[in-house]
Structure 1
Amino acid sequence: MTSKTRRILANAAAVAAVLASASLGSPPGHAHERETVEPAFEHALPNVPGKSLIAVVVTYPPGGRSPPHRHARSAFIYAHVLTGAVRSRVGDEPARVYRAGESFFEEPGAHHRVSENASDSEAASLLAVFIVDAQDKPLTVPDPGAATTP
């Protein structure tokens, strides 16, 4: 084997190693992406003075997640999975996967430890409905240090 052939094979092997290592990681644009939150509805409850009903659609890209968080202290939350599958862990309860059509709730003051897409290949979304004191903002507060974590 000539030295030129050895150099060509070595370069090809190096390129193959780089490509192989790149393909072992998460797909670009999908690794630990954050959720998006879109307001859907907000209205004061006329028969419950001082309370509002607020709804948001939370969409998780494949592999996406929310950082651990708490919601407004007065917020009771009903969540309904619209598409895909969402893994959720509230308080000390074990994590559970909820699929499209399933629902869960969070009591006021609950700690939402895990909220993420259960799939690395398909998007997921949920409708979160808050019953909350009208002046109790913000609706979601990431755990200290969690806001900068992907």
Structure 2
Amino acid sequence: MVIRPILSAFCATVAIFASAGAAAHEATEIVKPNFEQAIPNVPGKSLVAVEVQYPPGAASVPHVHAKSAFIYAHVVSGAIESKVNDGEVRVYNAGESWSEPPGARHPVSRNASKTEPAKLLAVFVVDSNDKELTTPVR
């Protein structure tokens, strides 16, 4: 599969954050591309899926998602603690899912456990020309 610039930019962004987190001795997530495809009956939109692995105690840096990205997140294993926009911090266990509206702020996204790993699948429906799926919030 050819990885388009949108997925490459997302992975590069995550790699930068992972490096920064490692330098600060914080555990960070590991993001792996899972799927990417233009949606044939919705011109200009693509479906991009990534697997996000959280080692014990790992967290993502606070971030915002692309303004066009509708996101479906499904916990594959473990438990993920998440907060979207001004909502409550919530723990999602394996088998549970949530969605995030376009342009969502994601101030909390982390493994709920300090001893067990967790994994989620994030599926983005996004404008095909959006280059950045996530941007850090400082």
- Unpaired segments ≥5 residues, structure 1: 1-30, 145-150
1:118 aligns with 2:99: no
* One-letter identity of the residue aligned with 1:79: A
Equivalence for 1:3? none
- Unpaired segments ≥5 residues, structure 2: 1-24
Q: Which has the larger radius of gyration?
A: 1
Equivalence for 1:43? 37
1:66 aligns with 2:88: no
- 1:20-31 matches, cutoff 5 A: none
The ranges of structure 1 where at least 4 consecutive aligned residues each deviate by more than 3 angstroms after the TM superposition are none
Query: Normalising to structure 1: TM-score of the pair?
Result: 0.74
Kindly provide the CA deviation profile for residues 70-126 of structure 1, in whole angstroms up to 9, marking residues without a partner as x.
Answer: 111100000000010000000111100000000011000110010000000000000
Q: Alignment length, in residue pairs?
A: 114
Equivalence for 1:94? 88
Aligned with residue 130 of structure 1, among 124, 127, 133: 124
CA RMSD of aligned residues (A): 0.8
Distance 2:62 2:117 in 1: 20
Equivalence for 2:19? none
Kindly provide the CA deviation profile for residues 36-71 of structure 1, in whole angstroms up to 9, marking residues without a partner as x.
Answer: 100000000000000000000000000000010011
Percent identity over the alignment is 61
Distance 1:101 1:107 in 2: 20
Partner SS state of residue 107, structure 2: strand
* Greater relative contact order structure (CA < 8 Å, 6+ sep): 2
